[in-house]
């Protein structure tokens, strides 16, 4: 009886097809690849030097280190694309489905720590984007609709317990907001952000991100901004007063 089962087992093994390893062809950019935008959706379409659509991996090197790696099917990006810093540290992961970004795009800082998670649908930002500090704590989040900020934006305090800022956004423009700060160990105060500051945010005279982890007041003068300099000069005192109120005066 044991010999009968042994023979049956051997027959099953011999009759089972062996799956061959898939040989993924790798193309080096720019030498092996020709890419262009394909209408009507402006999807990148890539061929080899003979004009045949690429199926395989498209890779770019910098001094022997991979800095870009994409998967293509029939000439179109399909699968997760990887971008690296020049030392090989992950920089971003981009999910492609049939040539369009669909899913959560992830970005990393120079240390390889996750810094951003941005949802995409058909190449457009759609959903709740999240931003993290170097310790991996959530520092802000924003709602996108049809590729534009639309909804509430939250920027959290240094302890990540309360929204330092809560800003309402409509079609890419801030329309109102509140600022919350601590006035005692267990007491918080929330104040309405003045219209002049909301306008400053929209004109990019003030920004949040660089000061989030170092200052109790996230807003500061952005010297390299697109701000209307005449507007800045006219409203300097009002902006200064606001910055002083929330605990940080900046020039």
Q: What is the pLDDT of residues 94-146, one digit of tens each?
A: 999 999 999 999 999 999 999 999 999 999 999 999 998 888 888 889 999 99
Contacts of 37 (CB under 8 A, 6+ apart): 43, 44, 45
Structural domain ending residue among the three candidates 91, 125, 159:
125
* Assigned domain for 18 exists: no
Mean pLDDT of 28-38: 91
- Structural domain of 63: 24-125
Same domain, residue pair 159 and 217: yes
Same domain, residue pair 107 and 73: yes
User: What total of structural domains would you count in the chain?
Assistant: 2
Contacts of 55 (CB under 8 A, 6+ apart): 25, 72, 73, 74, 75
Structural domain ending residue among the three candidates 90, 125, 160:
125
- The whole-number pLDDT of residue 34 equals 94
- The whole-number pLDDT of residue 133 equals 84
Mean pLDDT of 204-214: 53
- DSSP character string of 140-192: EEEEEETTEEEEEEEEE-TTSSSEEEEEEEETTEEEEEEEEEESSSS-EEEEE
- The whole-number pLDDT of residue 66 equals 96
Distance between CA 131 and CA 165 in Å, rounded? 14
Contact call for residues 66 and 88 (beta carbons, < 8 A):
yes
* Assigned domain for 136 exists: no
185-200 pLDDT per residue, tens: 778 888 888 888 888 8
Same domain, residue pair 121 and 152: no
Contacts of 9 (CB under 8 A, 6+ apart): none
* Assigned domain for 34 exists: yes
- The whole-number pLDDT of residue 12 equals 47
pTM metric for this prediction: 0.73
- The whole-number pLDDT of residue 113 equals 95
* Assigned domain for 224 exists: yes
Distance between CA 210 and CA 89 in Å, rounded? 22
């Amino acid at each position: 009886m044991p010999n009968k089962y042994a023979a049956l087992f051997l027959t099953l093994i011999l009759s089972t097809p062996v799956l061959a390893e898939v040989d993924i062809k790798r193309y080096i950019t720019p030498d092996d690849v020709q890419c262009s935008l394909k209408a009507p959706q402006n999807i990148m379409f890539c061929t080899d030097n003979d004009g045949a659509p690429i199926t395989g991996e498209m890779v770019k090197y910098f001094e022997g280190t991979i800095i870009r790696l994409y998967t293509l099917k029939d000439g179109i990006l399909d699968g997760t694309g990887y971008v690296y810093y020049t030392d090989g540290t992950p920089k971003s992961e981009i999910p492609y489905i049939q040539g369009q970004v669909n899913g959560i795009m992830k970005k990393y800082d120079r240390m390889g720590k996750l810094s951003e998670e941005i949802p995409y649908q058909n190449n457009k930002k759609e959903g709740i984007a999240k931003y993290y500090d170097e310790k991996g704590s959530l520092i802000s989040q924003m709602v996108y609709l049809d590729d534009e900020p639309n909804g509430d934006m939250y920027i959290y305090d240094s302890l990540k317990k309360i929204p330092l800022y809560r800003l309402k956004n409509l079609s890419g423009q801030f329309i109102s907001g509140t600022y919350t700060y601590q006035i005692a160990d267990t007491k918080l105060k929330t104040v309405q952000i003045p219209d002049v500051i909301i306008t400053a945010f929209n004109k990019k005279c003030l920004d949040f991100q660089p000061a989030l982890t170092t200052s109790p007041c996230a807003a500061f003068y952005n010297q390299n901004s697109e701000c209307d300099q005449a507007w800045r000069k006219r409203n300097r005192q009002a902006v200064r007063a606001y910055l002083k109120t929330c605990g940080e005066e900046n020039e």
